[in-house]
A = this chain, B = another copy of it.
Amino acid sequence: MLGRMTVVEKGPQGRRRGRGARERILSASEQLFRDQGINRTGMDQLCAVAQVSKRTAYQHFATKDELVAEYLRQFDPDVMPGVFDRTDLTPRERLLAAFELPESTPLCPYIAAAVELHDPEHPASQCARDYKIAFAARLTETAREAGAEDPEQLGEQLALLIDGASARSRVLNREAFSTAAAIAAVLIDNAIPPGATA
C-alpha cells in the first residue's frame, strides 16, 4: 500500500504529508473506533485526527457507513496469516496458537461493529459476518490437516471460543484467552484421534 503513495498531499494546516488522505482516514478510524467506539466517533473528529478536510474525507468515503465497512475490510484481510500461514508449526500447534493473543488485545473489531451497528444488513455487519465465517474456515482447514474427525465442527467450536474470550475479556476487563485455550486443548484432544497426522 505504502509503495503506491506517490502523491504528497497537504493537510488542513497546510503541512505536507507523506501518506495519502485515504490511508490517514482509515488509520484514524482504526484508532478512534477502537478507543471510543464507532457510534461515538463523528466525521469531524475523524477528519481532525486524520488531518484532512471534510471535503476530502467525503471524496474518499461517501458516507460514514462506507468508511466503517472499509475499516473492517482492511483490518485483517488475510485472516490471521501470522498464525495460519506459519510453516514452523504443526497444524495442531497452529490451532492452539490462534489463542495466544497478547493480554492487551482489544475487543475484536468485528464483534464491536456487529454490537454497535444493530443492523445485520449494514455493509459493515456483512463484513463482520464474512470475516467470522472466513476465520472459522481457516480453523476448519487447519483442523482437517491435523486429522480431526469432524473438522467443520471443531473449526466452528474453536471460533466460538475465540469470540467468547474476546467478549468476556471486555466485560471482565481482564484477559480470558487462557480459559479459551484450555477449552480448546480439550476439544482438540477429543477431536483428533491419536496417530492422526499431527
Q: Would A172 and B116 be within 8 Å (CB), given that A39-B40, A161-B164 are in contact?
A: no
A167-198 toward B: CB 8 Å interface, digit per residue (1/0)?
11011110010011011001100100000000
Q: How many positions in chain A have a CB within 8 Å of any CB in the partner chain?
A: 44
User: Contacting chain B: which of A1-9, A22-30, A83-91, A106-114?
Assistant: A106-114
Q: Which residues of B contact A159 (CB under 8 A)?
A: 168
Smallest beta-carbon distance A140→chain B, Å: 13
Q: Which residues of B contact A167 (CB under 8 A)?
A: 111, 115, 163-164, 166-167
Smallest beta-carbon distance A172→chain B, Å: 6
Q: Which residues of B contact A101 (CB under 8 A)?
A: none
| A104 CB within 8 Å of chain B | no
Q: Which residues of B contact A157 (CB under 8 A)?
A: 179, 182-183
Q: Which residues of B contact A111 (CB under 8 A)?
A: 115, 167, 170-171
Q: Which residue of B lies closest to A153 (CB)?
A: B182
Q: Would A170 and B114 be within 8 Å (CB), given that A165-B160, A186-B190 are in contact?
A: yes
Q: Which residues of B contact A115 (CB under 8 A)?
A: 37, 107, 111-112, 115-116, 167, 170
In contact, A171 and B160 (Cβ under 8 angstroms):
no
User: Contacting chain B: which of A45-53, A59-67, A74-82, A128-136?
Assistant: A128-136
In contact, B160 and A120 (Cβ under 8 angstroms):
no
Tell which of B114, B166, B173 touches A129, judged by Cβ atoms closer than 8 Å: B173
CA distance A153 to B112 in the complex (A): 27
| A118 CB within 8 Å of chain B | yes
List the 5 closest A-B pairs by CB distance, nearest first.
A164-B164, A167-B167, A120-B173, A114-B171, A39-B39
Question: What are 6 residue pairs bridging A and B, where the CB atoms are less than 8 Å apart in the complex?
Answer: A115-B170, A125-B173, A128-B171, A157-B183, A164-B165, A167-B167
